[in-house]
């Protein structure tokens, strides 16, 4: 991955500027600082190696050289999109699903709220962060990490959820630049549908564990269990309790484990 190749890659895509790093701490941190400095909608930060990357709930996400995709897309939401802020994380997840299908014929699922699974194992994660100036939203950053090669998959003893690489699932080498372009194309295409009911329907069609019983672990509360029913209009996870009562878990404070 190099600047020249990326410049060619972005031809035809609405990416006005990009910043590429051989090594960086966090692409999201760089992107957030860029937003504060006046980045345009569609600007991108990408890196070959990420040493201080993070996932949800401040989990580490380390990217080794040549092994994965690590990038952050800057978007400046329109007024109507701000009302659908809960859909920007699944925008990234759904774009990855679509890219894997279009490019490699791989069927994937989304483990709510924003992890992408191949063969029931995590292949990608999304971290959405917002930049605010007082009460005014300056922009959002969609950070994405994709395990492309086997070297991107952490050791088994470090995993909170089983993981896989794109190449393992595809059973062949995968060009990272080509996959990045496919994901970005899908993100821009899907963004135009963000406020439409069809977007939520597409997310739900890719929802992992639907109809199955899961345990949900929050950051503070005791774990709860429920049967996965679907996604509500705001992006929350709809569940049914063992007593038959429906309830919703909000985005951003839980993670899933399929019950044995």
Residues present in the chain in total:
260
Q: Is the fold of 3-205 the same as that of 213-258? A: no
pLDDT at 56: 53
Residues facing residue 21 across a β-bridge: 47
Separation between Cα atoms, residue 165 and residue 153, nearest integer Å: 7
Q: In whole angstroms, what is the distance from residue 190 CA to residue 188 CA?
A: 6
Residue 145: partners with Cβ closer than 8 Å, 6 or more residues away: 50, 53, 55, 61, 63, 68, 69, 70, 124, 125
Q: How many helices (H) and strands (E) does the chain have?
A: 7, 12
Paired strand residues for 141: 74, 129
Pick from 191, 188, 175, 177: which is nearest to 13 by CA? 188
Report how far apart, in Å, the C-alpha atoms of 168 and of each of 50, 81, 112, 253 are. Answer: 22, 36, 23, 30
Predicted local distance difference test score (pLDDT) of residue 137: 93
Note the pLDDT of residue 6.
77
Tokens of 249: 């878990």
List the chain domain ranges. Answer: 3-205, 213-258
pLDDT at 252: 43
Q: Which residues are within 8 A (CB) of 171 and not within 5 positions of it... i.e. 6 or more apart?
A: none
- How many Cβ atoms are within 10 Å of 96's Cβ, its own excluded? 30
Q: Which residues of the chain have pLDDT under 50?
A: 57, 252-253
CATH superfamily name and code, 3-205: Bira Bifunctional Protein; Domain 2 (3.30.930.10)
Q: How many CB atoms sit inside 10 A of residue 32's CB? A: 23
Please tell me the distance from the alpha carbon of residue 226 to that of residue 245, in angstroms, as a whole number: 9
Whole-number pLDDT of residue 52: 74
Measured distance CA(62)–CA(154) in Å, rounded: 9
Distance separating alpha carbons of residues 160 and 176, to the nearest angstrom: 25
Residue 259 near residue 242, CB atoms below 8 Å: no
State the pLDDT at residue 184. Answer: 97
Output the pLDDT for position 93.
97
* From the candidate CATH numbers 3.40.50.720, 2.30.30.100, 3.10.180.10, 2.60.40.10, the one assigned to the domain spanning 213-258: 2.30.30.100
Peptide bond into 113 cis (omega under 30): yes
Q: Are 56 and 119 within 8 A, CB to CB?
A: no
């Amino acid at each position: 991955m190099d600047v020249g190749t990326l410049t060619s890659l972005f031809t035809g895509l609405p990416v006005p500027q990009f910043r590429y790093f051989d090594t960086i701490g966090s692409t999201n941190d760089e992107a957030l600082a860029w937003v504060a400095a006046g980045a345009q909608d569609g600007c991108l930060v990408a890196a070959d190696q990420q040493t201080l990357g993070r996932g949800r709930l401040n989990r580490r996400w380390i990217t080794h050289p040549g092994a994965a995709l690590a990038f952050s897309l800057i978007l400046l939401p329109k007024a109507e999109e701000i009302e659908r802020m809960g859909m920007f994380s699944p925008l990234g997840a759904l774009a990855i699903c679509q890219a894997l299908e279009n490019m490699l014929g791989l069927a994937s699922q989304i483990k709510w709220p924003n992890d992408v699974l191949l063969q029931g194992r995590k292949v990608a994660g999304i971290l959405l962060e917002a930049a605010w100036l007082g009460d005014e939203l300056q922009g959002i950053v969609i950070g994405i990490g994709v395990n492309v090669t086997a070297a991107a998959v952490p050791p088994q003893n470090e995993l909170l959820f089983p993981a896989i690489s794109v190449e393992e699932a595809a059973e062949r080498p995968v060009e990272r630049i080509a996959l990045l372009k496919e994901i970005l194309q899908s993100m821009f295409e899907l963004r135009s549908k963000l406020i439409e009911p069809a977007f939520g329907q597409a997310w739900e069609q890719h929802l992992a564990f639907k109809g199955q019983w899961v345990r949900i672990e929050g950051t503070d509360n005791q774990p709860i269990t429920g049967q996965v029913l679907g996604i509500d209009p705001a992006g929350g996870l709809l569940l049914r309790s063992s007593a038959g009562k429906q309830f919703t878990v909000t985005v951003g404070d839980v993670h899933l484990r399929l019950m044995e």
